[in-house]
Amino acid sequence: MTFDTDGLVIKAQNTGEQDRLVTLLTRKYGVIRAFANGARNPKNRNASATGMLCYADFTITKTAKGICIIKESTAKDVFFSLRSDIIRLSLAQYFAELASELAPREEEADEFLSLLLNAVYLVSDSKKPLGLIKAATELRLLSLSGYMPSLVGCAACGTFETPEMRFCPMTGKLYCSDCVPQEASVPVPASVVHAMRHICLTDPGKMFSFRLSDDNLLLLVDLSERYLHAMTGKRFATLQFYKTMTR
C-alpha cells in the first residue's frame, strides 16, 4: 500500500552505499521506520527532506513484508537556524529521542507531532528560556503518553492548593502543606504548581505561554526531569549530551 503523511525525521541513519534509514514521527501513523534509497546523494529527490529534524510531506510505500520505503518527499521546514547552534540542536535532538520513546507506533499521532513541531520551532527560533521549553515539552509528552502527573489537588486530602505544596517526582503526586507524603518529595511554591498544571492541562497552543522566576524555573526543570526518569526508567543519551553542553 502507498500512503501520504506529513512527519518529522526523529532519527536518520546511514545504510548501504548512499541510502538512509529514517525514523519518522508521522501525523497519521505515529513512529515509523522507512528507507530512503539513494538519499545521501545530494542530487537525490529525497535528500533534503530525509535529513535529521526535517519536517516534510512524505509519500511512503509499505511492501508486503511490512518494509516502508519513501517514494516522494517535499521538505516543509528544515529548521535551518538550529544547525548553527550546538546547544539548541542538542535539545531538539533530545526531543526527537523522547518522541521515539513515547509516541505511538503505527497509529495516529497528531498531538505528538504538533507538540514536537512547536517545541523544535521554539528551540530554533525563540527567545524563551530553553529550560522552559524543555520542561514543558517533557511534561506534555508524558501527559500525552498516559503519564500525566496528578496535579488536581492533594493526593491525601484533595485540597486544591496551599501556598506551598510538595511534589513527589517518583510518583507525580502532589500534597498540601498539611499532609505528609510517604515517598520522597520536594517543596514547591504555588507558582510552580500553576506552571505544571498549565503545561499539562491547557490548550496545546498556549502550553509554552507562562513565566517563572529563574529559581522556580530551575526547580521546574529539575522536577520534570526527575519525573520523566521515574516514568520511563531511561537515561537519554541526547539529554546527557545537552546537559554536558549547558553545564
- Residue 175 or 208 having the CB closest to Zn ion: 175
When binding is defined by CB under 5 A, the residue of 98, 176, 199, 231 that contacts Zn ion is 176
Nearest to 116 by CA among 26, 190, 178: 26
In the complex with Zn ion, the residue whose CB is nearer, 184 or 245, is: 184
Joined grid coordinates for residue 170: 517518583
Closer by beta carbon to Zn ion, 22 or else 192? 192
Per the structure block, which three cell numbers stand in for 31?
A: 513512529
CA Rg, the chain, in Å?
20
Give the nearest distance from C-beta 223 to Zn ion in angstroms: 19
Query: Minimum distance between the CB of residue 167 and Zn ion, rounded to whole angstroms?
Result: 13
Binding Zn ion (rule: CB under 5 A), the pick from 179, 186, 218, 230 is 179
Q: How far apart (Å, rounded) are the C-alpha atoms in residues 38 and 20?
A: 7
CB of 198 to Zn ion, least distance (A): 21
Torsion angle, alpha carbons of 192, 197, 198, 204, to 10: 140
d(CA 247, CA 245) in angstroms, rounded, equals 6
User: Measured from the CB of residue 176, what is the shortest distance to Zn ion in angstroms?
Assistant: 3
- Between strands 55-62 and 2-15, the pairing is antiparallel
* From candidates 75, 148, 156, 170, binder to Zn ion by CB under 5 A: 156
67 binds Zn ion (CB under 5 A): no
Residues at the contact surface with Zn ion, assessed by CB under 5 A: 154, 156-157, 159, 176, 179
